[in-house]
Amino acid sequence: MSDCLFCKIIKGDIPAKKIYEDDDVFAFHDIGAQAPHHFLVIPKKHIATLNDADNATLVGKLTLTASKIAKDLGFAEDGYRVVMNCNEQGGQTVYHIHLHCLGGRQLNWPPG
């Protein structure tokens, strides 16, 4: 999708601090970090919301990629949170599915 922020990041039109990339997913640091470690994992294929997802393997790969990165960055053992927002009331602001991974501090529940 030509006007999608995350599609532009994937294409390199908008700079991002990349952490990981393969044929299916792209991970980068969140510019509005809410924890010492806060990154996003997104599919390279544009999927607007979780309601539009139809590939369980791809959605699962987002989670497994977040886990791998948390281990590689050294905060997995202390704990971290993964979350995906869906639509306006769920807190989604960019309509390209993305998984947030946050760690490096005590995370409280409920989040808000």
The CATH number covering residue 75 comes to 3.30.428.10
- Here the tokens at position 13 are 């039109």
75 band by pLDDT with thresholds 50, 70 and 90: very high
Residue 110 resides in a domain? no
SS3 assignment, position 15: coil
By annotation, the residues acting in catalysis are 98
86 band by pLDDT with thresholds 50, 70 and 90: very high
Is the per-residue pLDDT at 34 higher than 90?
yes
Q: Give the Å distances, CA to CA, from 17 to 11, 20, 40, 43, 76.
A: 13, 10, 11, 16, 20
Please, what is the average pLDDT of the chain?
96
Residue 63 resides in a domain? yes
DSSP 83: E
Single pTM value for the model: 0.95
Region 66-81 average pLDDT:
98
Is the per-residue pLDDT at 112 higher than 70?
no
Residue 96 resides in a domain? yes
The residue segments making up the domain with residue 97 are 5-103
Phi and psi (nearest 5°) for 69? Answer: -65, -45
Is the per-residue pLDDT at 66 higher than 90?
yes
User: What is the number of domains present in the chain?
Assistant: 1
Is the per-residue pLDDT at 47 higher than 70?
yes
Classify residue 24 as left (phi > 0), alpha (psi -120 to 50) or beta: alpha
Residue 108 resides in a domain? no
SS3 assignment, position 51: helix
pLDDT for 2: 74
